[in-house]
Structure 1
Amino acid sequence: MLTEKNWRRSLFAVVLIAAFIFSAAAAGAQTHAPVSPPKTATPLDIKEIRLDNGLRIFVLERHSSPTFAGFYQFDVGGAMDPKGKSGIAHLLEHMMFKGSSTIGTLDAQKEAELIARQSELWRQLNAEQDRQDDPFDRADPEKIAELNRRIHEITTEHKKLVIQNEYDEIMERAGSQGTNAGTDPDTTTYIVELPSNRLEFWFRMESDRLMNAVFRGFYSERDVVSEERRESYETSPDGLMYEAKRALLFTAHPYGGPVIGWPSDVARLTEEDARAYFTTHYSPSNCIMVLVGDVKASEVERLARLYLGSWKRQEIPHRPFTAEPEQRGERRRVVEFDAEPRISISWMTVREGGSDQYPLEILGSIFGGLWSSRLDKTVVQRERIATSVSAGNTAMRHGGYFSASASLAPGHDAAEVEKSIWREIKRVQDEGVTADELERAKVQIEAGRVSRLKSNLGL
């Protein structure tokens, strides 16, 4: 148990996990009519196209502006990273913007030879460095230095063949308004917005990188990801809190690990690791595509069959997950960091699609998602023991959690804020929520949804 001295010594965050499952019913939401998922007033005319290789494409024609959004998602994310190779799904996402055997290079054949030589040298270097902590078979410092010298030599030669950022520049010249990607625990997603007269161009570009990707500059990009991790997690109070919270919530399931990867794992990832992951998981049968905007479904189907029909299907391996065991007690962790103190309390909830997902979304808005929410009124406005608050539910494929967080006001400690949050939780459990709170939360969520539906990408 943490003592008062521990609380005051903490410069940063206290992460607390309750010992019970949190549900909308337990929070008192049963005093109101059930909250149903938002419904669209007018059914969307979505057309589905299926290719023989397993690729599924969904098309929504929307001719209000001469643009379209292209989106595709692979059913693989950070939670599927092999043991010892955390961060590979995220790093592969970065590599998908490095071009292909035709884009990004001055000499594809020579470049392939250099990449193969570089990968072999990195394999040897990793093997030698693994011996550094072996008391019976110490690593050879001279061999490590020589391998590093040869890697640098080949990297310098390789850079002369690379056309930097050619994929991005081609997309920008074509009128791209947003080329991006993201990796979460369950999926990896790629998106772009383009003028509608660039539809065939998009299919040509995407089929090229999906079937002919070249992971050039892999080791330089690995360093970029390592720096991203330092900035987003190791030197960021919010990142540290998020990482610590997930590790406390999920002690067995891979959701407890960071999508960006652990530092030592990322430092050892190789181009061969990325290639193996790509070959295994980036299969048309493991992918869905969505196109929304000024396009015709018949033309989308024609182009999809022309450019993606030859995309080779791979057998996706069975992916068993370790089930999270029942939590039998409260878990606490203090993370020290020179920043404004903050606290986060989380409860395990339901998986994506669970019956309580939408009520918990409403509850998050009522509890801490609105200005003048329950927590804002209590701990910020009335008690003035916190400067900001937030709350919300996160639902994922294999589980979810509800969090309530606050940044402490000067002169106040985490114990005060914790007690106040628990009082508000108890009040919701005992009294439920008011009709006015419920209506305001529903209006806020619906307004956000309507706003998203105004754009092709939002749809």
Structure 2
Amino acid sequence: MRVRSAIAATLLLGMALCCTAKAQDLASFEKRTTVKVLPNGLTLIVCERPEAPVFSFYTLVDAGSADDPQGDSGLAHMFEHMAFKGSTEIGTTNYPAEKIALAKVEVAYAAYDAEFRKRVGQNPAKLAQLKKVFQDAQAAAEKYVIPNQFSQIAEQNGAVGVNASTSEDSTEYFWSMPSNRLQLWAYLESQRIGHPVEREFYKERDVVQEERRMRIDSSPIGRMVEQLLATAYVAHPYGRSGVGWESEISQVTATEAEAFHKKYYVPSNIVIAVVGDVKASTAMPILERYFAPIPAGPKPEPMTTIEPPQFAEKSVVIKEATQPFYIEGYHRPDYRDPDDAVYDAITDIFSNGRTARLYRSLVRDQRIAAEAEGFSGFPGEKYPGLFAVYAVPLPGHSPEEMRTAIHKEIDRLKNEDVTDEELARFKTRARADLLRGLADNEGLAHQLAEYQTRYGDWRELFRQLDKIDAVNKADVRRVANKIFVASNRTSAQIDFVPPQQNPEPSQLPTPRTPAPAQTGGAK
């Protein structure tokens, strides 16, 4: 009776979603959506949604942390920060003079950095003198800076949610504002894409270093995940720290950031979606006016590095006086794989909410975990990523118990068909998630830009439902047996160990002669 009621509820929800979808179907969006590729290669998408006098935009640059040059991890993230520093026209009192001052900063930093990097023969007195020259050059350049002017202009004109993010796959910029400020937004966005200035670069570099310390160095789970990826990948950049290795962040330069922008922030590598109370007939000429003059450039060459197949199980064990944790990852193909929707099904059935298998088994029934979940496409989807599963043990339980319990549930996926109810629930939720993603302007702008970038056609967003509907029980078992094998697994765990108190003399570190004091932004 309970099963019958659940199936009935699922069908009713599906009917309701189908009714809602009538206003959200592909044909409706095709009437309201205009795509134009400018002569310089930049792609513009305008979707008319006049329900309220506002619009949202989403600028997607098809370059993320995976594209950081060798030795410059964190550069994509660093440039995201710099994109809010203004341009040749915004954030400066006198750009011609500032340009000269910034060039002097780079000359001074190059001299300081060259001395700092000497592994033999470094002169402490010369290093200190070069550092002072560098600091004086920075101070001279800062006299021309109008701090935070870019964001202030946007917010003073009604912008909300002014933000950006850098993932392994891409860098995104977004906010929402009144529709009568469309032209102002086009000016601001075209300025930071086409005419950025690396002002206050080294000050912002310190901010990024602090961000790393907070997210990674001071976080046991952050360090564990970083080590998991570094262990799982031997060739592909997904194995590098997304926020950047400390030693590389501390020595990246404004000159290198400019080179990154020149290579990746070319119009042919950018998609901009605008959604809201805008008419394509009037909006598109405005957008062309501001974005078309951005100089064209060659689209960055595709990445050629392919992660070789993993042929042996790998593991990381961290022992600390902190919350125990267990996570494991299995290599899977990228988003273009024909079985991509099957991975979505496994993720949903395995770990989506309180009805999912992991939660029911580890949290509700066995009561050995405070949390248990799986997720796919980690740390990115553009290239082959990981299907990851984690569990947080309750007091008195260990990471090894989490591992055993997770593997038991994985074996069920491999050896038994999922139920009709589980498969139906996945498909219903997938449709609901799509509709929710289209419900607000910012979410829709994100989806349009993402699918246009990844597939070359935003309509693929709607075609995903056909792929989801085609998933069957045999697909789930087939894919589970293909991916969930020990030789394809990398695991990481935190084992709790009590903090040492009054260690024996033999356990104390051997005193070392202190090295000469070093000053500067690198270690």
Q: What's the TM-score, normalizing by structure 2?
A: 0.77
1:319-349: CA deviations, max 9, x gaps? Answer: 4432111111111111234321010111111
Q: Count residues with an aligned counterpart.
A: 418
Cα separation, partners in 2 of 1:257 and 1:340, compared to 1, 3 Å:
same
**Superimposed CA distance per residue, residues 184-216 of structure 1 (whole angstroms, 9 cap, x where no aligned partner):** 122111112111111111111112222221111
- What secondary structure sits across from 2:261 in the alignment? helix
1:86 aligns with 2:73: yes
| CA distance in structure 1 between the partners assigned to 2:355 and 2:293 by the alignment | 55
SS at match of 1:207: helix
**1:115 Cα shift?**
1.0
User: Which residue of 403, 412, 431 corresponds with 2:416?
Assistant: 431
Equivalence for 2:44: 57
Match of 1:116 in 2: 103
* Equivalent pair of 1:370/1:441 in contact (CA under 8 Å): no
Distance apart, 1:315 and its partner CA: 1.8
Secondary structure in 2 matching 1:437: helix
2:465 corresponds to: none
Give the stretch that moved more between structures: 67-76 or 237-246: 237-246
CA distance in 2, matches of 1:366, 1:238: 25
Per-residue deviation, 1:304: 2.2
CA contact (8 A) 2:80 2:171 kept: yes
1:436 is paired with a residue whose SS is helix
Q: Secondary structure at the match of 2:441?
A: coil
Amino acid at match of 2:38: L
Secondary structure at 1:355's aligned position in 2? coil
Structure 1 unaligned regions, length at least 5: 1-37
SS, match of residue 141 in structure 2: helix
In the alignment, which of 367, 372, 385 is matched to residue 389 of structure 1?
372
Range that drifts further, 45-54 or 166-175: 45-54
CA drift of 1:290 comes to 0.8
Matched, 1:403 2:385: no
- CA–CA distance in 2 between the matches of 1:410 and 1:41? 49
Determine which of 283, 304, 309 is the counterpart of 1:326. Answer: 309
The question of whether the paired residues in 2 share the 8 Å contact of 1:360 and 1:392 is answered with no
- Deviation of the 1:171 alpha carbon: 0.4
SS at match of 2:274: strand
Of the structure 1 ranges 223-232 and 101-110, higher mean CA displacement relative to structure 2 is found in: 101-110
> 1:317 offset after TM fit, Å?
4.2
Equivalent position of 2:126 in the other structure: 143
**1:369 touches 1:392 (CA, 8 Å); kept in 2?**
no
Question: Higher mean Cα deviation, 434-443 or 273-282?
Answer: 434-443
**Which deviations, in whole Å up to 9, do the C-alpha atoms of 1:274-331 show, x marking residues without a partner?**
1111112111111111111111112222112211221101123424432111111111
Q: Give distance in 2, aligned partners of 1:115 and 1:85.
A: 21
- SS of equivalent residue, structure 2 residue 175: strand
**Amino acid across the alignment from 2:215:** S
- Give the equivalent residue in structure 1 for 2:187: 204
**Could you say if the C-alpha distance between residues 125 and 338 of structure 1 is closer, same or farther in structure 2, counting changes exceeding 3 Å?**
farther
> Which of 1 and 2 has higher RCO (CA within 8 Å, sep 6+)?
1
Amino acid at match of 1:118: V
1:414 pairs with 399, 410, 413, which one? 399
1:256 equivalent to 2:243? Answer no
Per-residue displacement from partner, 1:239-258 (whole Å, max 9, x unpaired)?
22321222222211111112
Residue 245 of structure 1 pairs with residue 232 of structure 2: no
Aligned to 1:41: 25
Q: Secondary structure at the match of 1:354?
A: coil
Distance 1:249 1:356 in 2: 22
Question: Does residue 1:313 correspond to 2:293, yes or no?
Answer: no
Residue 171 in structure 1 maps to residue 158 in structure 2: no
Name the % identity: 34
Structure 1 residue 448: Cα displacement? 2.9
Aligned to 2:198: 215
Cα offset, 1:42, TM superposition? 4.2
Contact 2:105 2:141 (8 Å CA) reproduced: no
Compared CA separation, residues 399 and 181, structure 1 to 2 (3 A):
same
* Number of the residue aligned with 2:60: 73
Alignment correspondent of 2:217: 234
How many Å apart are 1:54 and its aligned residue? 0.9
Measure how far apart 1:439 and its partner are.
2.4
> Per the alignment, do residues 447 and 316 of structure 1 end up closer, same or farther by CA in structure 2, a change over 3 Å counting?
closer
Secondary structure of the 1:70 match is: strand
Question: Which structure is higher in helix share?
Answer: 2
Aligned 8 A contact 1:81 1:87 in 2: yes
SS at match of 1:69: strand
**What do the CA deviations read for 1:58-98 (whole angstroms, capped 9, x no partner)?**
11111111111111111211111111111111101110100
RMSD: 1.7
| Whole-angstrom CA distance in 1 between matches of 2:320 and 2:133 | 40
Q: CA deviation at 1:388?
A: 0.8
Matched letter for residue 381 of structure 1: R
Q: How far does residue 457 in structure 1 lie from its aligned partner after superposition?
A: 0.7
Tell me how far apart the structure 2 counterparts of residues 47 and 338 of structure 1 sit (CA, whole Å). 56
Q: Distance in 1 between matches of 2:408 and 2:437?
A: 35
Give how far 1:155 is off: 2.2
Contact 1:253–1:321 (CA<8 Å) still a contact in 2? no
Mapped partners of 2:187, 2:287: distance in 1: 9
Q: Distance between the aligned counterparts of 1:59 and 1:400, measured in 2?
A: 32
Secondary structure at the aligned position of 1:289 is classed as strand
Q: Find the partner of 1:99 among 79, 83, 86.
A: 86
Residues in 2 aligned to 1:159 and 1:320: alpha-carbon distance in whole angstroms: 38
Aligned with 1:160 (options 134, 143, 147) = 143
Q: TM-score, normalised by structure 1?
A: 0.88
Which consecutive residues of structure 2, in runs of 5 or more, have no partner in the other structure? 1-17, 445-523
Cα distance in 2 for partners of 1:444, 1:244 equals 33
In 1: Cα distance, 2:302 partner to 2:351 partner: 36
C-alpha contact 2:46 2:274 (8 A) present in aligned 1? yes
107, 114, 117: which one pairs with 1:127? 114
| Aligned twin of 1:297 | 280
Per the alignment, do residues 249 and 169 of structure 1 end up closer, same or farther by CA in structure 2, a change over 3 Å counting? same
Q: List, as ranges, runs of 4+ consecutive aligned residues in structure 1 with deviation greater than 6 Å.
A: none
| In 2: Cα distance, 1:210 partner to 1:366 partner | 42
